[in-house]
Structure 1
Amino acid sequence: MKVSDVMREPSPVKLTKHEHACVAFEKEGASFVIDPGSFSPNAARIISGADAILLTHEHFDHVNAAAINAALAERPDLRVYAPAALGDMFAAHAGQFTAVAAGDELAVAGFTVTVHGTTHALIHADIPLVANVGYLIDGTVYHPGDAYFVPDASVGTLLLPTSGPWLKIGEAADYVRLVRPDHVVQIHEMLLSEIGLNIASMLLGEKGLTGIPLTAVPAGESLTL
């Protein structure tokens, strides 16, 4: 082995933000997508470019079941990773489904993914809680799904939900303070108007309550991490 191989810099990661909570990760020609849901009109196209699909929980805005099942039928090599509660949704392709839970470590499309958390944030006492996991990608980028679970790990980039029936801005700010990432990328923002987006960015960004830079990435655009 050459010294140059040992000292080689990590490959850059391309993060593409899609609608709502859907994000795709790509490096060295391999990719996976998290939470391609029903708010993404191009969910089938997004999935078609992925080697794997990771789902945080069962709600329709995070899971486009029809598009995912169609892709599984077309591509026997495609894999879905999600909490066990989603197994029935993909029962026709059980061999392509892997149940995950907190503490798991996965090798997905050349990435290392660790699994954190157990439960969706409370919406209302009358609405049953569902399983929800967060994914830490290559030890640096964290997607929490619909929960403000603080992983027992340092986080470089936090994908921060900023709208939803379970969420208020003050809790989002406190969550960023607890996680203490280097950088925040806004996700789960589809319920906000343009004014709401601007207010969220102002309150949750570097000059607001958190002191940490926040980036709002338009759907379909990418960052290099």
Structure 2
Amino acid sequence: MSVSIASLGHSTVRLTVGDGVVVVDPGTLAPSQAFDDVAAFLITHDHDDHVDIARVTAAPAARPSTRVLAPQPVIDKLVAAGGQLEGAVESTRFDIAGFAVRPIVGDHAAIHPSLPDSPNVAYLIDNRILHPGDAFPDLPDGTALDVLFLPVSGPWMRYADAVDYVDATRPGLVVPIHDGDLDDVGRTLTDQLAGLLPDTVRYQRLELDAPITV
């Protein structure tokens, strides 16, 4: 089954099959179209750059059928929103808007030892597309990734860790995300990591809201 994928900036991505639209990590940096006519939001953790509480709250109010799948700290913040708020549980597969979604529950990558651990839920979609949130999670045995949305910047990560994760998971396509803190020069420099990836892996930065099919 072909899936349309689009980058909406920073860590926000949109996936579409037919009339089914899923948006992952609709944060405060996301444009307005990240919240329009969405069947389901998948939220990895409760940082503002990954979930805009006010706009996610408004979306189910405007479209009651909208579903929200998120870890408990996010659910706690959205509980007044109504709609279908669902906790992401590792062993539970969700069928959402034409997609099979498997949450991979873990922790946000460490920023500093003085900060407490916080939950991070990666989403494995149709067993071939991964949005890891702010972590580099272990994948279920036998997973063969067609697409990896790869974090490439932020206070919690190292360049080398991103490269090593690609080497470990061997996706067909790497799409860089989590780079809203970079200007054009920073993105150009960061994209040089493509030269360190395995020959079998294609690295492609997506133009904003310009979908490709995978």
Q: TM-score range by the shorter chain?
A: over 0.9
Pick the aligned partner of 1:107 from 60, 76, 95.
95
State whether structure 2 residue 130 is matched by structure 1 residue 123: no
Structure 2 residue runs of 5 or longer lacking an equivalent are: none
Residue in structure 2 matched with residue 22 of structure 1 by the alignment: 12
Question: Cα distance, 1:71 vs. partner?
Answer: 1.3
Query: Structure 1: which amino acid aligns with 2:191?
Result: S
Query: Structure 2: which amino acid aligns with 1:34?
Result: V
State whether structure 2 residue 168 is matched by structure 1 residue 178: yes
Q: Deviations over 1:22-48 (max 9, x none)?
A: 001111211111001001142xx3221
State whether structure 2 residue 127 is matched by structure 1 residue 144: no
Alpha-carbon contact 2:107-2:119 (below 8 Å) kept:
yes
Residue in structure 2 matched with residue 5 of structure 1 by the alignment: none
What's the secondary structure of 1:32's corresponding residue? strand
Aligned residues, how many? 211
Alpha-carbon contact 1:117-1:133 (below 8 Å) kept:
yes
Q: Deviations over 1:51-78 (max 9, x none)?
A: 1111000000000100011112222211
Percent of pairs identical after alignment?
34
TM-score, L = length of structure 1:
0.89
Query: Structure 2: which amino acid aligns with 1:214?
Result: Y
Q: Residues 135, 111 of structure 1: CA spacing in aligned structure 2 closer, same or farther, 3 A cutoff?
A: same
Query: Structure 1: which amino acid aligns with 2:173?
Result: H
Residue in structure 1 matched with residue 46 of structure 2 by the alignment: 58
Structure 1 residue runs of 5 or longer lacking an equivalent are: 1-9
State whether structure 2 residue 67 is matched by structure 1 residue 79: yes
Q: Separation in 2 of the partners of 1:158 and 1:41? A: 22
Q: Separation in 2 of the partners of 1:94 and 1:125? A: 36
Question: Cα distance, 1:161 vs. partner?
Answer: 0.4
State whether structure 2 residue 151 is matched by structure 1 residue 161: yes
Structure whose alpha-carbon radius of gyration is higher: 1
Q: Separation in 2 of the partners of 1:132 and 1:118? A: 5
TM-score, L = length of structure 2:
0.93
Alpha-carbon contact 1:17-1:217 (below 8 Å) kept:
yes
Q: Separation in 2 of the partners of 1:97 and 1:209? A: 38
Q: Separation in 2 of the partners of 1:104 and 1:186? A: 27
Q: Separation in 1 of the partners of 2:155 and 2:198? A: 22
Residue in structure 2 matched with residue 219 of structure 1 by the alignment: 208
